[in-house]
Amino acid sequence: MVMVLVGAIFVPAVSAYENPHQSYTKDDSRHYGGIDAYTAATVGYFGSEYIPGRDVWEFNYRMTGVGETRDYYYSNGDPAPACRVQYLEIKETYNKAHMAMWTSTDSKYIGAWPRTSGSSAYYYNVAYKISLLAISALSPYSSFAISAADLVNTMLGGYDSGSNGETISRTWEYTPDETDVGHFFWWLVDVDPGKTVRFTIEDDLFGPSYEMVGVGWTFEISTPSKSPDKMTETEREKYGIEIIPISNLKERSDELNVAPETLDELIRYGEPVYYAHKIPVKAVPRKPDKETAISKILGITGYSKDLLFNDTNPWL
C-alpha cells in the first residue's frame, strides 16, 4: 500500500483561469498475470498568442498522465507495486517545416510523483484541473492513492531521460516499483500563419506482467492566413482574437496562461498582444501500438524485454 505523508499544504480555491479552452481525456487498462494496470491522461489546450517578431501563433499545451496497478489474483484489488516506467512522446507528423515545439527543463514545466530527487515547484495553478480530470478517469477502476491537490503539491521537477526536436520524449523510471504514479508536462507549439499541422501524443505505463498500457491522440491545428494586425474586425471575431495593451499583459499573463519566457519576449516587442481564443484545434484519439511502444522503451533504457519486465526491477 502506498503511504503518503503530506504536511499542512495550503490549497487555494481553484481559479477559472486554470480551466483549459479545451481538454481531452483518455484511459486504458489491461488485466494480465495477476495485475490490473490502469492509465489515464488529460491534455489541456490553453489558447494561443501571436508572436510578431517570429510571425507565428504559439499554442499552449499542458498534460497530466497517471497510472496505477492493482492485485486482482491474491487480494482482489489491493495496490500492487507494478508501475515501473512512464513514457511520454509528442511527435510532429504533418507539415513539420511550418511548426516547432519547445519546452524547458525548468522544474515549473515538468514534474512527477513519487520521486526521491528533483526540484519542487508550485504546480497548483498550472496543473490542478488537468490532474483532476486525469485522476477522475481512473475512478471507474480503482481509487488513485492521493487527491489531485496532493499530487500537484508533492510532485518534484525532473525526469530520467528525454529528447527534443521534431520529437519530444520524457521517461520516468520508478525505483522501487510503485502502485500509483503521475507526471505533469507543459509545452508550446509554434505554427506559421495559414498552415495546418499535426502532431501525435502518446502516454504509456510499463511494468512487469502486463507490460504496457497507453493512451494517445492525433492533434490538428489550422491557423489564420493573415497576421492579426491585418485582419478585419469580422475576421478577428471569427478566431476570438482579443487585443491586449502591452501595459496590461503582465497583469493578465496568468489568466491567459502565457509561458514566462513568452511573456518576456512579448514585452520586449512592446506591441499590443493578440490573443486567440477560437483558433480551430482538433484531437482524434489513437491507441498506441504495444509492440512499437515496448521497442521504444527498450531502446531508451537499454534493457532486454526479459530484464525490463522481470519481477525484479533492473534499477534496484
First-to-last C-alpha distance (Å) of the chain: 19
- What pLDDT does 120 receive? 85
DSSP letters for 114-146: S-SSS-B---HHHHHHHHHHHHHHHTTT---SS
- Residue 208 falls within a domain, yes or no? yes
Give 74's pLDDT tier (boundaries 50, 70, 90). low
- Residue 311 falls within a domain, yes or no? no
Distance between CA atoms of residues 43 and 65, nearest Å: 9
The whole-number average pLDDT for the span 66-84 is 87
- Residue 9 falls within a domain, yes or no? no
Q: How many domains does the chain have?
A: 1
The whole-number average pLDDT for the span 266-286 is 93
- Inter-residue long-range contacts of 18-23, CB under 8 Å, 24+ positions, other chains counted: 18/125, 18/126, 18/128, 18/129, 19/129, 20/44, 20/45, 20/46, 20/62, 20/129, 20/130, 21/45, 21/46, 21/47, 21/277, 21/281, 22/281, 22/283, 23/129, 23/130, 23/133
- Residue 15 falls within a domain, yes or no? no
Q: Percent of the chain having pLDDT more than 90? A: 73
Domain of residue 177: give its range.
21-301
Contact 287, 28 (CB under 8 A): yes
Could you report the per-residue pLDDT of 24-44, keeping only the tens digit for each? 999 999 998 889 999 999 999
- Residue 4 falls within a domain, yes or no? no
Contact 12, 123 (CB under 8 A): no
Q: Percent of the chain having pLDDT more than 70? A: 93
- What pLDDT does 125 receive? 83
- What pLDDT does 17 receive? 53
C-alpha grid cell for residue 6? Answer: 503530506
Contact 283, 24 (CB under 8 A): yes
Could you report the per-residue pLDDT of 178-207, keeping only the tens digit for each? 999 999 999 999 999 999 999 999 999 999
Closest among 216, 29, 280, 66 to 155, alpha carbons compared:
66
- Residue 6 falls within a domain, yes or no? no
